[in-house]
Structure 1
Amino acid sequence: MFSGHITIKLAAILFSLFLVVLIPLAFVIHEVISGFFFEHEVEEMKQSVSHYESMYEENGTIATGVLETLTKEHQDVYVLNESFQPNRHVGQNTDDFISGIPDGEREEIQSGGMVEREYTDEATGEKYFVVGSLLQDGGEESESIYLFSSQSAIEAEIQEVQRLITLAVVGAFLLAFACIIILVRRITLPLLQMEQATRQIAKGELEVRVHHPSKDEVGSLGTAINDLAEDLKQYRDARRAFLADISHELRTPVTYIKGYSHILKEKLYDQKEEEDAYLTILSDEAERLNRLVEELFDLAQMDDGHMKLTKKHLALAPMLERIVKGFALPARQQGLELDIDVEEGLIVYGDELRLEQVFMNLMTNALRYTEKGSISIRGGRNSAHQPVITVTDTGIGIPQKELPFIFDRFYRVDKSRSREGGGTGLGLAIVKQLMHAHDGDIQVSSVPGEGTSFILTFARPEKNAQ
């Protein structure tokens, strides 16, 4: 049973092409074989007549027994006198054709030429090849000889050969049929399997894969289908994880807001200090919820490519000094030192507000995960003359196995610490997206217990401004 119509269509196309080639080829073979047999027969007749001429010239005659021995079953030989009347005849034919020898042909024979033509017996309709020539003895004209051969006998030989060729063609056709079926199945089976796999993938069975050992276009198509399935699976898993994470992130502040607003509404507190503390918690959670919504909105805009950046040439040193001053108080409260050393004249081409967001997110992370020591910002150029900013802290560090995931949304190395500190798990994801939007890159290196460094590499401003 064929699965679909592509197998039938492809087989029909191949069979049609085979017949288009085979039919003209059979016609050409027929013509070539017929022409070969006829030409070969006439050539043999000429050679036989030439042989008779030699014998007659040497012996002055040709014995009737010799004529009978050398004449084939489908041939007749006539030896004619000077008046073109038959002296001897070997064969089964009649003498009717003798009276029909044209005068021009007789003159050509008498002048020593060799003639060849076709003759049709009016009584039987039989066709013959005729070859005639002059027999000479010692240079004197004496007799002439005519040799003719039945075309029907030659055609019988041709038909026998054609029968063998027909059998060979039928065998070739059957072999071609089997080969075409095998070939079509070999070509279409992977396509049908891919069709089935894509239908399963469309139904949500994203673990389905296509097996494609070949390295041709069909194999490439199978690889593309597998890649698509893998991408869809990753997208589905990421979406599920995103929905689970965002549900959790929203649930936490909503739970706090709901719980403490109930306490305040029902006045379930004893002192004014408790009321103030609950109001502070409500304010912090509302701010955290607002920040989460804003960051989600930023990521959605970046994903859709709708975020508008107002780029211009910016000096990094003043911007970073301003940001560091803003973090001076919380750093001092934690007992941390802030250090900045940025090369003067270090210029980038970018959106000032978004780049401030990048550095503020990195500084916020550094403060959140550093209990003692310092946070430093270094700025300069690399060997390619690209601006490079490095933000380094002496915090708790990040395990090596966690590093590939820290730019994922809602990913946290220490979940309890980040939630206590008000983190949303989106800061580094936003940083990476913003760096890519500025044609830049961000790398991270970390040693647990010693600290973490984020290396931000920007495009050269003259290149970026083009």
Structure 2
Amino acid sequence: MEKDAFAQQLPVEKYTRNIENKSIFYVIRKEGDLTKPNFIVSYAWGNYRNDLVMTMFGRLMLLMVGLIVISWLPCLGIARYFTRPLVQMERHVGRMAERDWHEPISTSRKDEIGRLAKAIESMRQRLVRQDRAQQFFLQHTSHELKTPVMVIRSYAQSIQDGVYPKGTLNESVGVIMKEGERLRYRRPEIKWEMDLAPHTTLIGDQEQWKIALENMLDNQLRYAKSCIRIVVKSQSLDNENAVKGQTSLSKFCISNDGPLLDQAIADSLFEPFRSGGDGQFGLGLAIVKQIMDHHGMTVRAANQRDGVSFYIEPGKQTDKTSVPKVS
């Protein structure tokens, strides 16, 4: 160390020596003037460094364990804060799957979980409205059908037993026919205006087209004030087997002079159990849309200046060889 000190040129130098297979580390600091310098020597054995490193490592591990233990409780609280609403929403969705959707989902959160809860609540409200609509529809249908069906059943049972409530078979059957007609709309005051293209061929199933057109006409009779207009436009068939001069449907339009449609109602008019302007619910127009989709046609409703028009028009191409033609 003495030799290193006198030979040292810099103010501070670090040295390492081995003494009897042991490492010693020392630092020599040179102070004073150049003629009579003073030296300060600081040293430490190699095992002291190892002990210091192990001690620091142990304290670091202890500090990390302490931080983990201390932060575990806040982390647990935060996790419960985030997962509690998710668990509640899971339970609500499970009950909704079992048609128990009358308990609302309330939350004051503004984050993504809050938006998810609001979306589920909106879905729940729509399900409640649809359920009420279906219940109303069933109750209304049951009420409308109960009286004529009971009369028809009683008269049919009496005739089967050989008893004629009206005296004769024809008169008794006439009552059954009359009660059956109560299930249909009768509007003798309605004026019909028709512009029909001759020899028009409908591509598809005859019974389905019949059901679709009957439902469309029933809807017009329900809302028309005084007039119903039917326009059928056609185009020439390009089928090689088509009869010469025969045409296919290009557009079917049926209009009435009833009240105009609200835009919100018009957008969902062809969905099941949707209410019209008078609050009535039904499946007629929804069935029309399903039949038109099956036949590659489109159906829509639009307000006109003097009423409402319903259009049936060709949509995507269909395989004409797989469905029959209806003239």
Q: Give your verdict on TM over 0.5.
A: yes
In 2, the alpha carbon distance for the partners of 1:347 and 1:277 equals 41
Partner of 1:353: 207
Q: Does 1:437 align with 2:291?
A: no
In structure 1, the residue corresponding to 2:231 is in which secondary structure? strand
1:155 positional shift:
4.5
Contact 1:362 1:428 in 2 (8 A): yes
Per-residue CA deviation, residues 328-370 of structure 1 (Å, 9 max, x unaligned), is xx99x758343224498x8765334322332243345545665
In 2, the alpha carbon distance for the partners of 1:243 and 1:181 equals 51
In 2, the alpha carbon distance for the partners of 1:54 and 1:412 equals 104
Partner of 2:149: 254
In 2, the alpha carbon distance for the partners of 1:49 and 1:220 equals 79
Q: Does 1:53 align with 2:7?
A: yes
Q: Does 1:204 align with 2:74?
A: no
**Alignment-mate amino acid for residue 136 of structure 2:** A
| C-alpha distance 372-189 of structure 1, shift in aligned 2 (>3 A) | closer
Q: 10, 13, 18: which one pairs with 1:117?
A: 18
Q: 111, 120, 124: which one pairs with 1:214?
A: 111
Normalising by the residue count of structure 2, what TM-score does the alignment of the two structures yield?
0.60
Q: Does 1:452 align with 2:308?
A: yes
Partner of 1:300: none
Partner of 2:85: 190
Contact 1:380 1:388 in 2 (8 A): yes
Q: Structure 2: which 5+ residue stretches go unaligned? A: 27-41, 236-248, 323-327
Q: Sequence identity of aligned pairs in percent?
A: 21
Partner of 2:178: 284
Contact 2:229 2:256 in 1 (8 A): yes
1:168 positional shift:
3.9
How many pairs does the alignment contain?
283
Contact 1:444 1:454 in 2 (8 A): yes
In 2, the alpha carbon distance for the partners of 1:425 and 1:189 equals 41
| C-alpha distance 196-361 of structure 1, shift in aligned 2 (>3 A) | closer
In 1, the alpha carbon distance for the partners of 2:116 and 2:221 equals 50
| C-alpha distance 180-393 of structure 1, shift in aligned 2 (>3 A) | closer
Contact 1:376 1:393 in 2 (8 A): no
**Alignment-mate amino acid for residue 280 of structure 1:** G
**Alignment-mate amino acid for residue 244 of structure 1:** Q
Partner of 2:67: 172
Q: How does 1:30-69 map to 2 (within 5 A)?
A: 50-54=4-8
Structure possessing the higher relative contact order (Cα contacts under 8 Å, 6 or more residues apart):
2
Contact 1:411 1:425 in 2 (8 A): yes
In 2, the alpha carbon distance for the partners of 1:428 and 1:183 equals 52
1:266 positional shift:
8.1
Normalising by the residue count of structure 1, what TM-score does the alignment of the two structures yield?
0.45
1:459 positional shift:
1.0
| C-alpha distance 119-184 of structure 1, shift in aligned 2 (>3 A) | farther
Contact 2:24 2:46 in 1 (8 A): yes
**Alignment-mate amino acid for residue 175 of structure 2:** I
